[in-house]
Structure formats: C-alpha cells, structure tokens
C-alpha cells in the first residue's frame, strides 16, 4: 500500500514538472517571437527614417531647368573639374570621373590630392574618362551611372541633353565655371542624397581654413586681385573677378578686391576682365597681386615701362604660383585640394603681405 502511494505521488510530481517546463518553454518562445518582431519593426523604422532623411525624390534646380532624382544613387559618375573630389571627400568612389586637364605631373590624369584619397579608400584602378578634349559620352554611358555630377563644369545645353539620356545630371546653377567650392559641395552632395554630410564637409573645411589663417594675421584685410600677365604680350592683362572661384577663394582667405576693380565689373556673374596695360593703374589700390607665373615672369613685368609702375609690382608684393603645377590647380579649390595645399599657398601670400607692411 505504501509503495503504491509513493508511486502515485511520484507520477503526480512528474506531471506537474512537465507542465511547468512546457509552460516556461511557451513563455520563452513568445518572448523570443516578440523580440524578433520588435527587432524587425526597429529595422523597418530605421530604414523608413533613412529614406525620410534623404527626402527622395530630390529635385535640383539649375541653369538648364531641373533634375529629379527618384532614389539614392548607387553608381555616381562625375565630369569635368573637381566634382569627383566632392564625392571622394564624402567617401563615395565614382564609377568614372574626368581626367584633370591642368596641373597633372604625369599621365594619370589625377591630381595628387585625388590620388591620395583614392589610395585611402583602397581604390587601385579608378575609371578615368580621357575627355580633356571633349566629353567622352560613350565612356560615361559605359560606366552605367545612376547620376552624373557636373556642378562645376562648362557643359552646354546640348551636352546636358545628351548626358541626361544616360542619367540624371546635376548641373551648375548660374553659369559655366562659376560655382564656388561650397556650392559645388552642396549641389553634388544633394545629388547623392547626402545633404547633411555635405554641410558637415563644408563646416570642417571652413574650420580648417580659419585655423590655418590664424597663423598669418598679416594677410587679413589686404586688398587683392588675381591678375594674369603673359610674357608673350604685356600689352594686356587678365583679371579674375570674385565671381570666379579663384577670386572668391582669395576673399575667403581674408582679403578683398578694391573698389577700383569692382567698379569695372558690370555683371556680377562676369568671371574675368580683359584690360589694356594702359589701364593698369586700376591695380594701384591692390596690396597683393596673385597670379600664375614665376620669378622670371615677375622680372619681365617689373621691367615693363607701364606695368612696372603698378604699386604691388614695384614693392614686390606679388604671389605668383607656378603655372601648370598642382598648387596652381588647387587655387581653383575643392574640398580635397584645400587641405592639401593651403599651407603652401598661405606661405606665398603671407610673404607678399609682409612686403606691404614694410
């Protein structure tokens, strides 16, 4: 009897134990299912949030009308000057980009700051369009882009229409070759759905410029002009205005064009003035002349009976950058060229500024 009772109690305990385990297993599965559902919902919310931040479709207004980009581009192509530097600075490797047509010291078609960034990103064989004599539409099409960045370029209406048959095109807003480096970043970053990253890149670059300028207080407040002289013909001179990215960069470095030059600009979008040497006296209010050239060109200008009387030429407050060098290419700035060459450029301009103060 006692054995029978013990056996019944044991069986009852086993049933209770099994029921408890089954109940716990069911609760665990329910919790696991709830966690997976929550994780899936979180991923969906995150994806929706990313899509919302990108604000697709994106509409970009430009000189040729407007471009609509329906979704975030995966394959980005760039053409002409510096647009690839924006993509690279934002961590995006273009599926193809135009060869640089100025300042390159080898056959690569790539300027040193671009090469440095490509190496940093692990890109060994970039696809470079050999289009320095004209856009290679076939090569651009073959790279199968989702968007073509051309915020700083000289494309024509016809170019734009042909390119648009390949992919949506981000063109300049005002006119050919007038886009400043900031606007170049903003337009191209928007075309990639990376507006926030673009603004951060601008802020970082501005902070770098401010930091570097603090080492050259003698530059601040000087009047300046970008002037090109030609040893082959000293009867004329060529001045880039502040509408040109080179002139705009000089102003960003703490200098300003004098009124004597600004009064000659009848169109705010005019990027250059062509003057006879007889009118060179408008440069007498310029503290520092910046331009393409070297010491031999300076000596020829100084020896000229008319140009040699320009105040900056007489005192030697001239900052010439070697023609066709990487430094000369960098004064048409991009977010990669600025940090690469700003020390060298400020050293040259700073030396010219010191002569003004002597």
In order of their start, the domains of the chain are 58-204 (3.40.50.1980), 217-357 (3.40.50.1980)
N residues, the chain: 358
Helices 112-120 and 337-357 pack at an angle, to 10 degrees, of 140
Alpha-carbon separation of residue 140 from 162, 205, 244, 250, 287 (angstroms): 11, 30, 27, 34, 45
Per the CB < 8 A criterion, the answer to whether 174 and 61 are in contact is no
Structure tokens at 174: 């005002």
CB 98 within 8 A of CB 84: yes
Q: Which tokens sit at 62?
A: 């430009």
Residue 28 has pLDDT above 60, yes or no: no
Q: How far apart are CA 219 and CA 355, in angstroms?
A: 11
The closest alpha carbon to 137, from 126, 150, 124, 125, belongs to 150
Whose CA is closest to 153, among 88, 77, 68?
Answer: 77
Per residue in 293-321, pLDDT (tens digit) is 999 999 999 999 999 999 999 999 999 99
Q: Which two tokens stand for residue 48?
A: 């929706």
Supply φ then ψ for residue 197, to 5 degrees. Answer: -65, -35
d(CA 65, CA 341): 35
Interatomic CA distance for residues 326 and 348, integer angstroms: 15
Q: What is the pLDDT of residues 102-130, one digit of tens each?
A: 999 999 999 999 999 999 999 999 999 99
pLDDT, mean over the chain: 88
80-101 pLDDT, tens per residue?
Answer: 999 999 999 999 999 999 999 9
pTM score, two decimals? 0.84
Question: In the block, which residue shows the tokens 């393409």?
Answer: 292
- What b/e readout covers 113-141, taking b as 16+ CB neighbours within 10 angstroms? bbbebbeeeeeeebebbebeeebbbebbb
117: cis peptide before it, omega within 30°?
no
41 has a pLDDT exceeding 70: no
**C-alpha span between 96 and 76 (Å, rounded):** 8
């Amino acid at each position: 009897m006692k054995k029978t009772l013990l056996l019944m109690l044991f069986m009852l305990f086993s049933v209770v134990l099994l029921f408890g385990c089954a109940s716990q297993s069911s609760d665990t599965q329910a919790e696991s299912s709830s966690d997976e559902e929550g994780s899936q919902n979180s991923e969906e919310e995150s994806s929706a949030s990313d899509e919302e931040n990108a604000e697709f479709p994106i509409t970009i207004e430009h000189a040729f009308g407007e471009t609509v980009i329906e979704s975030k581009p995966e394959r980005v192509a760039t053409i002409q000057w510096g647009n690839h530097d924006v993509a690279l600075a934002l961590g995006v490797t273009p599926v193809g980009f135009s060869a640089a047509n100025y300042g390159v010291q080898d056959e690569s078609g790539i300027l040193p700051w671009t090469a440095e960034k490509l190496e940093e990103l692990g890109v060994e064989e970039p696809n470079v369009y050999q289009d320095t004599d004209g856009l290679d539409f076939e090569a651009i099409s073959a790279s199968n882009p989702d968007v073509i960045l051309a915020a700083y370029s000289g494309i024509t209406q016809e170019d734009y229409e042909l390119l648009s048959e390949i992919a949506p095109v981000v063109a300049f807003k005002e006119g050919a070759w007038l886009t400043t480096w900031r606007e170049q970043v903003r337009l191209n970053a928007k075309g990639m759905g990376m507006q926030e990253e673009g603004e951060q890149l601008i802020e970082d670059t501005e902070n770098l410029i401010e930091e570097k300028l603090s080492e050259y207080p003698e530059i601040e407040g000087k009047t300046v002009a970008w002037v090109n002289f030609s040893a082959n013909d000293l009867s004329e001179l060529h001045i880039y205005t502040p509408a040109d990215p080179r002139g705009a960069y000089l102003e960003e470095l703490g200098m300003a064009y004098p009124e004597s030059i600004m009064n000659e600009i009848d169109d705010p979008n005019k990027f250059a003035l062509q003057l006879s040497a007889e009118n060179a006296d408008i440069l007498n209010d310029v503290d520092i002349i910046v331009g393409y050239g070297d010491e031999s060109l300076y000596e020829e200008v100084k020896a000229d009976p008319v140009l040699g009387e320009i105040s900056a030429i007489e005192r030697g407050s001239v900052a010439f950058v070697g023609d066709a060098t990487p430094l000369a290419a960098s004064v048409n700035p991009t977010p990669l060229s600025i940090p690469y060459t700003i020390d060298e450029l400020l050293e040259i301009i700073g030396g010219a500024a010191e002569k003004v103060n002597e």
